[in-house]
């Protein structure tokens, strides 16, 4: 079965998670996976399953995510859709009905095509962020979380929550949806 994974990733944790998902899906005989970045990709006509993944930045998807969906709506309506987010605190990314907050404004006919939505953990390496992102993370920890001293130092130190086992488990849940 042909599957396309389209991801938006600023600092590569989403890409890494999607490489693991691709790896696990392709260990099933019938899965053939193409992985592409959201900027400058077109949707494969012969794929049945389309997996979207985005990193979360201040509660939002990567730039261009909603536009991409709107622009390609007619093609998306022909596919089974999976939406995945990658964040440091994935629980906060779901609303009280267990739906991803970033999908709230999608048209209902697109929502009806979603077969699975889930969250994976990413990583944050402050030194690697661009200047704007450094400013927002600094503001978040100092002014919103009111962290200082050791607690602030700890929050700003390189942290990875990447986990191949979690990524494989999401892939296995997708595989189950196509068994029998």
Ligand X SMILES: Cc1cc2nc3c(=O)[nH]c(=O)nc-3n(C[C@H](O)[C@H](O)[C@H](O)COP(=O)(O)O)c2cc1C
How far from each other are the two terminal CA atoms of the chain, in whole angstroms? 14
Q: Does 89 bind ligand X (CB under 6 A)?
A: yes
Q: Does 4 bind ligand X (CB under 6 A)?
A: no
Q: Which listed residue (4, 5, 14, 49) binds ligand X by CB under 6 A?
A: 14
Burial bucket for residue 66 (CB in 10 Å: 0-12, 13-18, 19+)? middle
* Cβ closest to ligand X, residue 49 vs residue 122: 122
Contacts 24+ apart (CB under 8 A), 135-142: 136/58, 140/58
Q: Which listed residue (28, 123, 138, 166) binds ligand X by CB under 6 A?
A: 123
Q: Does 12 bind ligand X (CB under 6 A)?
A: yes
Angle of CA points 156, 20, 86, to nearest 5°:
40
Burial bucket for residue 174 (CB in 10 Å: 0-12, 13-18, 19+)? buried
- Are the CB atoms for 171 and 28 separated by under 8 Å? no
* Cβ closest to ligand X, residue 83 vs residue 122: 122
Q: Which residue is nearest to ligand X (CB)?
A: 122
Q: Does 113 bind ligand X (CB under 6 A)?
A: no
**Applying CB under 6 A, what is the total number of residues that bind ligand X?**
23
**Using CB under 6 A, which of the segments 19-27, 40-48, 52-60, 163-171 binds ligand X?**
52-60
Question: In whole angstroms, what is the distance from residue 162 CA to residue 149 CA?
Answer: 26
Binding residues for ligand X, rule: CB under 6 A, are 9-14, 55-59, 86-89, 92, 122-124, 129, 133, 136-137
């Amino acid at each position: 079965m042909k599957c396309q994974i389209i991801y938006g990733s600023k600092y590569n944790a989403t890409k890494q998670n999607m490489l693991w998902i691709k790896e696990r899906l392709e260990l099933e005989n019938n899965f053939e996976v193409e992985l592409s970045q959201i900027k400058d990709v077109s949707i494969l006509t012969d794929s049945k399953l389309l997996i979207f993944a985005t990193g979360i930045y201040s509660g939002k998807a990567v730039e261009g995510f909603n536009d991409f969906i709107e622009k390609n709506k007619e093609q998306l309506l022909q596919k089974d859709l999976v939406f995945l987010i990658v964040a440091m605190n994935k629980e906060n990314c779901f609303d009280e009905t267990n739906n991803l907050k970033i999908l709230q404004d999608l048209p209902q006919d697109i929502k009806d095509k979603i077969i699975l939505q889930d969250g994976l953990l990413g990583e944050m390496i402050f030194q690697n962020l661009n200047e704007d992102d450094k400013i927002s993370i600094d503001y978040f920890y100092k002014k919103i979380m009111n962290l200082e001293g050791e607690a602030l130092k700890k929050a700003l130190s390189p942290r990875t929550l990447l986990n191949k086992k979690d990524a494989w488990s999401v892939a296995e849940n997708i595989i189950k949806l196509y068994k029998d």
